[in-house]
Structure formats: structure tokens, C-alpha cells
Amino acid sequence: MYGLAILLFFNFVGVLLHEWARIPLPGSVLGLILFAAGLFSGLIKLQWVESTSHLLLRHMLLFFAPVVVGAMALSGILRQQWPSITLALTGSLLIGMLITGWTASALMRGRDDQP
Amino acid sequence: MINPDVFRNPLFGVSVTVIAYALASAVHRRFHWAHALLLTCGGIVALLLAGGIPYESYKVGGDLIAFFLGPATVALAVPLYKQWRRIRSHAGAVLTSVAAGSIGGLASAGLLVWLAGGSRLILLSMMPKSVTTPISIELSRELGGSPELTAVLTVLAGLLGSVIGPATLRRLGVRRDLAIGLAMGTSSHGIGTARVIRESELQGGASGLAMALAGIFTSLWLVPVYWWLGAHAGQM
């Protein structure tokens, strides 16, 4: 419970920061950045949050399920122009993914000390 | 006859989602090619259609499950922290590849819609689709796209990436955990991250970092696009 309390606290601080300081990143991503700062500074001990985080992250796909069901339910708005949408969605996904993966692999080549 | 109001009880949406996910996870353990999220959602949609249950009723409970996306996203700092020494030694590769991948993703999205003869609204709604939903809908609104359309496209991009991403990357020569994680986070945000974190802590940590970085880079890359759209406002 300790871990969940800490995660919810940072989530809420992130949401507050997004609302008040008008930082153009979502509250959960701001919470992630602040929580990372807490871990790296040693303010938050890893053992306080490790088991809760592990549980939440192992089942993160579950939390996305209602969002994906929503997208499927609303996907009627894609009906017009679906050929161009399908082409662009698939094509640009592969392009963005492969550019990142190939660039990272190329820049890490020859340094077999790390994965 | 069952009173349809019973489906508006949050217990319906919550239990349907958890049961579908538990069954899908069991199937995934037996047949590794079966994608847990795709199965879960396919099952829920089939049930709603078969029972004539409106999506709005399901959403009452579904929202309670989706609530946990907030603390789960915050929790992505843990794998990042634990794998930091391995990630930091490749800081240059991390920043360069995410910057390049996010510009490639948004430029190719715009270009492909244009080549396929899609409308301006679709083009503007498609461009920010690689980043996490709260950022993509905001960027879409500022560009003059449709935030609803962008929300759907963002989720579908995440789902598609999480289904075909890791296998495609491996087949095309991207084999290091760090590179796979970065590619998934940059192109498929949280849904891609949720997929790879089940397999490797390093992939998950890198993917969560790439998701946050891609949100920042994409917001920056779109600034010149606003200027260009502003300058050409009357002509398109």
C-alpha cells in the first residue's frame, strides 16, 4: 500500500503541475519525471515502491483494455477515407519504429560491453 | 428479461474487463503468438455486440480500470531507475534515435495521407498519433485536426505496434533490448511499452523513457508546422 500511495501522490502532483503551471505534458508523464527525480536523488527508496510498480507494470495492458475498446467503438469515424488512413497509419508506424531502432543499433555498434 | 440498467453498474465493466484479460492471458501463455490485449478487447467488443449492451454502460466500469494508467505510467520510473547505468552509457544513441524516429514518424504520417489523397483534417489528425494520447490530442487540437480522430488513431497505432512491433524489429535486424525498447516507445507510446515490459525490464525502461522523450520532441517538431500552417492559413 505504501508503494501505491507514493505512485498516486506523484501522479496527483503531476496533474496539479499540468493544471497550474500549464506545462504542456500530461500529468502522468510529469509524475513519471518527478518520481524518477525522487528515486535518483535517494528521497524515495526503491524497496518502498518496487513490488507495487512491478504489479502495475506487469498488468499495464489490462489498464489499456477499456481505452482500446473505446477506440474500437468509435472507429466508425474512420469509415470515410479508410484506405488512406490504413496506409498512413501502418506505413508511418513502421517508418518511425525502424528509424529509431536502426539509428539506435547503428550508434551502439562496436560497443559490445552493453546490450 | 434483464433490466438493462444493471450494465450501468461499474461492477459490469470492471469484471468483464478483468475476466476477459485473465482468459486472454491464459490463452497467451498457451499460444504465444496470441496477443493478450487484442484478445481481451476483441472478446469485450464481441460480448457488447452480442448482448446489445451500449458502450456507454461498459465505460462506467471501464473508466475505473483505465484510472490505473496514471499510477502505472508514474511507475515506469522504476525500470528506468534500475536499468539507468546501461541506458546512460548510450545517452547519445538514445537521444539521437528518438529524435530521428519521432520526426520520421510524423513526417511520414503527413506525407502518406497526402500521397493517398486523404483530406487535410485526416492529415493534421494523423501527424501526432505516435505519442501518448493526452499529448497527441492536445497537439491535434493546436494543429487544427480532430482530437477525437487523433485519439482513435493514437490507440490504433499503439495497438498495431504492440502486435507487430517486436517481431518486425527482430526480423529487420534490431536485436538489442535497448534499441527495441526505444523503437517501441517512440512509435507506440504506452501500449507498446506495456507490451515489452512483460518481457524485459531493460526494454520496458527504455520504452518508457522513449515515450516521454518522443512526447517532448514531437511537440517541438510541430512548432515549425504551426508557423507554416499559420502562414498558409487562407490558401489550403
Which residue is listed with cell 482513435?
A: B152
CB contact under 8 Å between A84 and B118, yes or no, is: yes
Closest chain B residue to the Cα of A75, Cα to Cα: B152
Alpha helices in chain B (DSSP H): 10-30, 36-51, 55-66, 69-75, 77-82, 84-88, 91-115, 120-126, 133-143, 147-171, 177-196, 201-231
Angle at A85 between CA A80 and CA A86, to 5 degrees: 115
- Residue A74 is assigned to a structural domain of this protein: no
Q: Cβ distance B145 to B158 under 8 Å? A: no
- Classify B52 as helix, strand or coil: coil
pLDDT tens for each residue of chain B, 236 residues long: 677 788 889 999 999 999 999 999 999 999 888 899 999 999 999 999 999 999 999 999 999 999 999 999 999 999 999 999 889 999 999 999 999 999 999 999 999 999 999 899 999 999 999 999 888 988 898 888 998 899 999 999 999 999 999 999 999 999 999 999 999 999 999 999 999 998 899 999 999 999 999 999 998 898 888 888 877 665 44
Give pLDDT, residue B236. 45
Cα–Cα distance for residue pair B95/B87, rounded to 1 Å: 11
| A95 neighbourhood in chain B, CB within 8 Å | 104-105, 108
- Residue A64 is assigned to a structural domain of this protein: no
Average pLDDT over residues A96-104: 97
Average pLDDT over residues A71-100: 90
Least confident piece of the model among A12-16, A41-45, A68-72, B3-7: B3-7
Long-range contacts of the stretch B63-66 (C-beta < 8 A, 24+): B63/A66, B63/B13, B64/B10, B64/B13, B64/B14, B65/A62, B65/A63, B65/A65, B65/A66, B65/B13, B65/B14, B65/B17, B65/B18, B66/A63, B66/A64, B66/A66, B66/A67
Give yes or no: residues A55 and A87 share one domain.
no
Give yes or no: residues A6 and A42 share one domain.
yes
Cα–Cα distance for residue pair B187/B43, rounded to 1 Å: 26
Give yes or no: residues A9 and A48 share one domain.
yes
Range of the domain at A92: 81-108
Give yes or no: residues A54 and A98 share one domain.
no
A25 or A57: which leads in pLDDT: A57
Domain count, chain A: 2
Which amino acid is residue A23, in one-letter code?
Answer: I
Give pLDDT, residue B230. 75
A75 or B188: which leads in pLDDT: B188
Residue A42: Cβ-neighbour burial (10 angstroms; 0-12, 13-18, 19+)? exposed
Give yes or no: residues A50 and A88 share one domain.
no
- Classify A62 as helix, strand or coil: helix
| A33 neighbourhood in chain B, CB within 8 Å | 77, 212
Give yes or no: residues A47 and A86 share one domain.
no
Structural domain spans, chain B = 4-67, 77-231
Residues 75-104 of A with CB under 8 A from B: 75, 77-78, 81, 83-85, 87-104
Q: Which three cell numbers stand for residue B58?
A: 461498459
Give yes or no: residues A85 and A46 share one domain.
no
Give yes or no: residues A5 and A52 share one domain.
yes
Give pLDDT, residue B194. 94
Which amino acid is residue B155, in one-letter code?
Answer: V
ipTM score for this prediction = 0.91
Q: Tell which of B12, B39, B41, B73 to mutate to test the A interface (max A CBs under 10 Å).
A: B73
Would you call A1 an interface residue with chain B, using a CB distance cutoff of 8 Å?
no
Alpha carbon B36 to its chain's center? 15
Q: Tell which of B16, B78, B137, B217 to mutate to test the A interface (max A CBs under 10 Å).
A: B78
Alpha carbon B103 to its chain's center? 17
Who contacts A30 (Cβ-Cβ below 8 Å, separation ≥6)? A13, A14, A15, A17, A18, A23
- Residue A66 is assigned to a structural domain of this protein: no
* Phi, psi angles (nearest 5°) of residue B120: -60, -40
Give yes or no: residues A51 and A88 share one domain.
no
CB contact under 8 Å between A87 and B112, yes or no, is: yes
Instruction: Return the closest-CA partner of residue A64 out of B49, B209, B198.
Output: B198
CB contact under 8 Å between B157 and A36, yes or no, is: no
CB contact under 8 Å between B21 and A97, yes or no, is: no
A112 has pLDDT over 60: no
Cα–Cα distance for residue pair B64/B69, rounded to 1 Å: 10
